[in-house]
Structure 1
Amino acid sequence: MHDIVHELTIEAPPEAVFTAITTADGLASWWTTDATADPELGGTATFGFDDGATRLTMRIDAIDAPELVHWNCTGGPEEWVGTSVAFRIEPSPGGGTVVRFWHGGWEYADGALPRCSFDWAMHLDSLRAYLQTGTGRPHQAAS
């Protein structure tokens, strides 16, 4: 199995980062405007892309405020289903928050994985922008 790993520092408190990753409003501010979330253990979050042509469903397998969020992909493109996503959120010694991101369980190193790694890097930078400036760059859902 293959993994995507990213790490970034955000000049915001861990609680704000956690809220941005776990709530529908937070997720819609940096990942995709077509987002729903039931931020509790066993809850689900859904994300729409490409005018609804692509829809991801994530089951929340672990949630520990403000330190950890772990999702398992239960619906979406074939290569995504069965993969897991985790956000580890830690106070940075120099201030702000360190986010350690992992998206694991990819069967193949080619196919969707390289594109998803790039997309995650862009979306995580959008998360940072949202928390530091108030304006993220989420994927825009059809209106």
Structure 2
Amino acid sequence: MSEITFQVDTPVDRATVLRALNSHDGLTGWWTTGVDRKDDILFFDFPDVPEPFRLRCDEATEDRVAWTSVGAFPPHWAGTTITWDLSDNPDADGTRVLFRHTGWQPDDPGLPPAAYTWGRLMTRLTEYAETGKPDPFFTL
């Protein structure tokens, strides 16, 4: 299996990063304005996408946020796992964020464009966490 991995450091505390990853205002502040939640299932809508991405929140603690794709769309995300591991930045004040999107088939043609998009999203996540100013990558 293949994975997408990024590490970013931000001067903000873990609680701030966790809010950006695990609250409606946080997720709509950097990812997409189309966010809904029913129990442990998060629904993410995107422009020109026929149905929402469905991700089950498996964990949301001060050290980790983990989701599993439980929807049939997009097909190449089926069964993949997305995690953010949060730790103290060893080099400065703030938080180190280790992002992984695992479970991809090695020859999946969707992997390179997803990696590119996740890289851009990680920039939006850290900018939102640092400024509190919403600037979602996708708007409906």
Q: TM-score normalized by structure 1? A: 0.88
Q: Give aligned-pair identity as a percent.
A: 29
Number of aligned residue pairs: give it.
138
- Gaps in structure 2 of 5+ consecutive residues: none
Match of 2:13 in 1: 13
Match 1:129 to one of 127, 130, 135: 127
Q: CA deviation at 1:52?
A: 4.7
CA-based RMSD of the aligned residues comes to: 1.6
Q: TM-score normalized by structure 2? A: 0.90
1:46 matched to 2:43? The reply is yes
Match of 1:73 in 2: 69
Match of 2:109 in 1: 111
Q: Distance in 2 between matches of 1:134 and 1:63?
A: 20
- Gaps in structure 1 of 5+ consecutive residues: none
**Which piece of structure 1 moves more, 15-24 or 53-62?**
53-62
Contact 2:32 2:45 in 1 (8 A): yes
Q: CA deviation at 1:109?
A: 3.7
**Equivalent position SS for 1:99:** strand
Match of 2:118 in 1: 120
Runs of 4+, deviation exceeding 4 Å: none
Match of 2:4 in 1: 4
Q: Distance in 1 between matches of 2:37 and 2:6?
A: 23
Contact 1:22 1:37 in 2 (8 A): no
